[in-house]
């Protein structure tokens, strides 16, 4: 038996990420994803791509999660699909990302954004 479709009570309007420097985060992620900076100041930043939005909110005393993160304080990370891992890593480090150590696999690369959030580069072909 299949459930009949129902209207969801909500839609996701934006994901907001805690950070120390919203302006820097917005500029990095806009360049990394090819999105636009909609707002960037010392307290809040937002990048947009059509109806997709990522916000960055300043939190006093914010600290980047450690890597590797065995305590669960990381809570989330982005997986970015790329055609060439080495080329994407080079382009993103030029924008301000840093390589995380240790690397868990040769199938993907873990980087940190300028505020220290870890994110992964994965081969686009692996996503089907």
| 37-93: pLDDT as tens digits | 999 999 999 999 999 999 999 999 999 988 988 887 878 899 999 999 999 999 999
Query: Candidates 2.60.40.790, 3.40.50.2300, 3.10.180.10, 3.40.50.1000; correct CATH number of 77-128?
Result: 3.10.180.10
User: What is the mean predicted confidence (pLDDT) over 93-104?
Assistant: 96
Tell me what pLDDT residue 106 has. 87
pLDDT confidence of residue 122: 95
Closest CA to 119 of 81, 78, 85: 78
In percent, the amount of the chain with pLDDT more than 90 equals: 75
| 128 to 8, 13, 91: CA distances (angstroms) | 27, 26, 24
Q: What is the pTM of this model?
A: 0.86
User: Which residue, among 74, 24, 14, has the nearest Cα to 44 in the 3D structure?
Assistant: 24
**How does residue 9 score in pLDDT terms, banded at 50, 70 and 90?**
confident
Which pLDDT belongs to residue 4? Answer: 61
Widest CA span in the chain: 53
In the prediction, which pLDDT does 2 show? 61
Is 12-60 in CATH node 3.10.180.10? yes
Confidence check: pLDDT of 111 > 60: yes
Q: In terms of C-beta density within 10 A (0-12 exposed, 13-18 middle, 19 or more buried), how is residue 79 classed?
A: exposed
> Which residue intervals of the chain bear CATH 3.10.180.10?
12-60, 77-128
Whether pLDDT at 1 is above 60: no
């Amino acid at each position: 038996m299949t459930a009949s479709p129902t209207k969801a009570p909500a839609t996701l309007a934006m994901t907001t990420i805690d950070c120390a420097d919203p302006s820097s985060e917005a500029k990095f992620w806009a360049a990394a994803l090819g999105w636009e900076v909609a707002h960037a100041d010392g307290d809040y930043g937002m990048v947009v791509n059509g109806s997709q939005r990522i916000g960055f909110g300043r939190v006093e005393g914010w600290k980047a999660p450690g890597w590797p993160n065995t305590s669960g304080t990381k809570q989330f990370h982005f997986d970015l699909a790329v055609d060439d891992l080495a080329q994407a890593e080079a382009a993103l480090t030029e924008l301000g990302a840093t390589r995380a150590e240790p690397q868990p696999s040769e199938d993907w690369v873990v980087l940190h954004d300028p505020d220290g959030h870890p994110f992964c580069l994965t081969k686009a072909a692996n996503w089907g």
